Chain A
Amino acid sequence: MNSPLLVVSNLHTTFETPRGLLPAVRGVSFSVAENQTVGIVGESGSGKTVLARTIMGLQPIRGVKLSGSVLLNGNEIVNRPHDELRHLWGSEVAMIFQDPMTSLNPVRRIGDQIAESLQVGIGLKRKEARARALELLVQVGIPSPEDRFNAYPSQLSGGMRQRVVIASALSCNPKLVLADEPTTGLDVTIQAQILDLLDQLKIERKMSTILVTHDLGVVATRTDHIYVMYAGRIVESLPTADLHAHHRHPYTAALLNSTPRIENKSHTRLTAIPGSPPNLLKPLTGCAFAARCSFATDLCRNQTPELRNDGGASEFACFNPVGVNA
C-alpha cells in the first residue's frame, strides 16, 4: 500500500458556545489509504459530522478551536483559511451532503449547477463544461440525461437528486470523497442504489471514500475499515471483515445488538442502548460510555481508556473488552 492519502492525527474540534466549551471531536487519529473505503459510525451527537467538516476544513474561524493535524496528500488542512483550501476542494477532496433536497439550488437548472463546478474547479470553458456535465449525468445513471440537464431540482425525485449531487461532487475528479450520511434522506431501495453507485464510481475513478453514517448496515458491506465513534472519540477501529466476529468494544457490541435482524421473530422488540450520550459541555472523567455500559467498573469511571491492541485485528478503547464472538 502507498503512503496514506489522508492522515488525521490527534484532531480536536472544540466549539465555544455561550454555555461553555463543547469538545465535539476529542483526539481522533486515523488514516485513509488510496482506493480505500472507510466507514465512520456513530449515533447522533457522536461528532462524526463535525469530524467530516473539520477534515474538509469547513469549520469557521470564529468560535471554533482546532488542534491536531489533517494531512491530505501532504497538505495541512487544520487552521488554514478557506482561501488557501479552495484549490484542494473539488479536485483533492469533495463532500457529498446528507440532504439532496437542500444541497441543490432550487432555482437553478441541474446541468448548470454541475457545469458551474467544472468551470470553477478546473477552469473549463462554458461549452466544454456543459458537455462534461452531461457525461457526468450519464455516469451517475440519470435516465434521458439530455432532458434532465435542463430540469430544476424540484422536478427530480430524491434519488435522482442525490445522483445529481454526486455528479456535481465528483465533477473535478477528487481523490477523496467525504459522504456525510449520503443516504439518510432516501428510502431503503434507493439507499442501496446510491451506495452501489458510489461503490462503482469509486472503483472506476480509483477514489478513496469516507462514509459517515449512523447505520452499521450501510458500512458493514461496503467499507474496508470501520471506525466507531462515541462522544467525539474513536472507540474502536477494525477491518470490516472482523466487525461481526471480532469486535471488542462494548459500544460496538451494543450497536450491533440494536440492529434489526432478519432471523428475529416478527414483533421482536429492538434492543436499544439504555441512556443517552454524555453531555460534552460537562467535563468527563473516565470512559464516556461507562454510564451506559453493562461491563463498567470503577476503573472505567475514573480513567480514560486509550486505544489498544491485544493481538487481534481490532484496536479498542476499553478496559473490559467483550470476548471474541460476544
Chain B
Amino acid sequence: MDVDNKPVEDTAETVVTKKLGPVFWLCAIWIGITVVAAVLAPWIGLPSPTVVDYNHFSMNGPMSAAHWFGTNDGGQDIFARVVYGARISLEVSFGSMLLASLIGGTAAIFAAYKGGILDTISNALMTLILAFPAALAVIAILSFWMPTTPFKLILIIGISGIPLIFRVVRGATLAAARKEYVLAAHVQGAKTPRIIFKEIIPAVWPTAVAFFILGVASVIMLEGALAFLGLSVQTPAFSWGTLLNDARQKIYPPNQNFNMLIWPCLDMVLFLVSLNFIGDRLRSYFDITEGKL
C-alpha cells in the first residue's frame, strides 16, 4: 500500500526512468541503418544489383574495395544485393503486419470493448482460423497463385496474421476495459469513441507494438522459408529469402561462392536477432511498468 508519509515535495521529483540498456539501443541502431539503407538504396551510390556481367573476371569475385562482399555467379555486387534484398523483405514484413494490425487490432478493440454476441462470434471465428496452421495456408494459396508478387505476399501473410493479432489485442483490451479508470471516464460522460481512443488504446498500445515487432521478425523468416520452396518473389525481383535460396545452390563447385551465402545470412540473422531482442525488451519493459502502476 502506498503510504503517504514522505514530504510531499519528494514525490513529484522522483521520476523513475527505467533503462532499456545499451544492447537495446545497439539493436535499434542496427535496425535503423538496415531500414534506411534499404529505403535509400537507389540513391547511395551502390552498383546495380541486377545488371548481369558475365565477364570471366567479374564472376564470383573475392571481397575487395570495389565489391565489399565480393560478386556472385552473375558478376553482381553482393553488398548491393543484400541492401536491395532487404527492400522486399521489409516491405512484405512491415506491410503484412500493418495490414494484420489494422484489421485484427481494430476489430479486437471494438469486439472486446463492446462485448456481447459480436465478441463471442468474432472470437470463436478467430480461434477457428487459428486452429489451421497459417504457414501451411500461405504456402497452399501461393502455390495456386503464381507468380508471387510482394503485394500478394502482403495480402496473404497479412490476412493470415489477423487472428493472432486479434487474440493478443483482445486480451489487452479486456484487461484495460476492466480498469476502474475506464469506468470513471464512463461516469463522467465520456462516450465510447473517446473511451477507446483516450483510455483503451494507450493501454493496449505497448502490447501491440511489442507484438508487431516480433511479428515483423517472424514474417521475415516466413518469407525466407517461402523462398526456400521457390514460392517467394520471382527473378529478377529478389529478397533476402531468394538470395539465400540462390546461394544454397552455388556453394558447390564449379561456383563454390561462400560470400553469396554468408553475407545475406549474416545480415538477415543480425536483423532478426535485433528485432526479437527489441520486441522482447519492450514487452518486459512495459509489463513491469504496468505491474508497478
Which residues from chain A sit less than 8 Å from chain B, CB to CB? 56, 58, 62, 82, 86-87, 89-90, 94-95, 97-99, 101-108, 116-117, 120-121, 143-144, 147-148, 151, 153-160, 165, 168-169, 171-172, 185-187, 189-190
Interface of A is mostly: loop
Asked if A158 contacts B181 (CB within 8 A), the reply is no
A199 to B279, CA, bound (A): 50
Q: Count chain B CB atoms within 10 A of each CB in A62, A87, A143, A154 and give the residue with the most.
A: A154
Q: A120-B188, A155-B15, A157-B2 are in contact. List 6 more A-B contacts (CB 8 A).
A: A94-B188, A104-B184, A105-B199, A106-B293, A116-B190, A160-B8
> What residue in chain B is nearest A159 (Cβ atoms)?
B4
Asked if A157 contacts B11 (CB within 8 A), the reply is yes
Asked if A97 contacts B180 (CB within 8 A), the reply is yes
Contacts of B131 in A (CB 8 A): none
Contacts of B8 in A (CB 8 A): 143, 157, 160
5 cross-chain pairs, A with B, having the tightest CB-CB distances, nearest first: A158-B2, A106-B293, A117-B188, A102-B180, A159-B4
Asked if B188 contacts A121 (CB within 8 A), the reply is yes
Q: Contacts A154-B292, A160-B8 hold; do A105 and B202 have CB atoms under 8 A apart?
A: yes
1/0 per residue, CB under 8 A from A, across B1-35: the answer is 11111101101101110000000000000000000
CB distance from B192 to the nearest CB of A (A): 10
A187 to B190, CA, bound (A): 31
Task: Check: B198 CB closer than 8 A to any chain A CB.
Answer: yes
CB-contact partner of B189 in A87, A105, A186, A190, under 8 A: A87
Asked if B11 contacts A185 (CB within 8 A), the reply is no
CB distance from B3 to the nearest CB of A (A): 5
CB distance from A120 to the nearest CB of B (A): 5
CB-contact partner of A156 in B11, B179, B194, B292, under 8 A: B11
Asked if A185 contacts B1 (CB within 8 A), the reply is yes
Asked if B181 contacts A103 (CB within 8 A), the reply is yes
Asked if B4 contacts A165 (CB within 8 A), the reply is no
Asked if B181 contacts A105 (CB within 8 A), the reply is yes
CB distance from B10 to the nearest CB of A (A): 9
Task: Check: B136 CB closer than 8 A to any chain A CB.
Answer: no
CB distance from B204 to the nearest CB of A (A): 11
Task: Check: B187 CB closer than 8 A to any chain A CB.
Answer: yes
Task: Check: B45 CB closer than 8 A to any chain A CB.
Answer: no
Chain B: interface size category = 20 to 34
Task: Check: B116 CB closer than 8 A to any chain A CB.
Answer: yes
Asked if B4 contacts A158 (CB within 8 A), the reply is yes
* Interchain residue pairs with CB less than 8 A apart (26): A56-B187, A58-B187, A87-B189, A89-B187, A95-B184, A98-B180, A102-B180, A103-B183, A103-B184, A104-B181, A106-B181, A106-B293, A107-B202, A116-B194, A120-B191, A121-B188, A151-B12, A155-B15, A157-B2, A157-B8, A158-B3, A159-B4, A165-B184, A187-B4, A187-B5, A190-B4
Contacts of B198 in A (CB 8 A): 105, 108, 116
Asked if B189 contacts A99 (CB within 8 A), the reply is no
Which residues from chain B sit less than 8 Å from chain A, CB to CB? 1-6, 8-9, 11-12, 14-16, 116, 179-181, 183-191, 194, 198-199, 202-203, 290, 292-293
Asked if A99 contacts B6 (CB within 8 A), the reply is no
Contacts of A148 in B (CB 8 A): 12
CB distance from B38 to the nearest CB of A (A): 33
A271 to B203, CA, bound (A): 45
> What residue in chain B is nearest A60 (Cβ atoms)?
B115
Contacts of B5 in A (CB 8 A): 187
Asked if B6 contacts A157 (CB within 8 A), the reply is yes
> What residue in chain B is nearest A171 (Cβ atoms)?
B188
Asked if B4 contacts A147 (CB within 8 A), the reply is no
Asked if A62 contacts B116 (CB within 8 A), the reply is yes
Contacts of A172 in B (CB 8 A): 188-189
Contacts of B190 in A (CB 8 A): 116-117, 120
Asked if A147 contacts B12 (CB within 8 A), the reply is yes
CB distance from A10 to the nearest CB of B (A): 24
Asked if B188 contacts A154 (CB within 8 A), the reply is no
Contacts of A144 in B (CB 8 A): 12
A143 to B179, CA, bound (A): 28
CB distance from B42 to the nearest CB of A (A): 40
CB-contact partner of A160 in B11, B179, B199, under 8 A: B11
> What residue in chain A is nearest B182 (Cβ atoms)?
A105
Contacts of B16 in A (CB 8 A): 154
A116 to B198, CA, bound (A): 10
> What residue in chain B is nearest A82 (Cβ atoms)?
B186
Q: Contacts A105-B199, A107-B202, A120-B194 hold; do A90 and B188 have CB atoms under 8 A apart?
A: yes
A148 to B9, CA, bound (A): 11
Asked if B11 contacts A86 (CB within 8 A), the reply is no
A41 to B181, CA, bound (A): 25
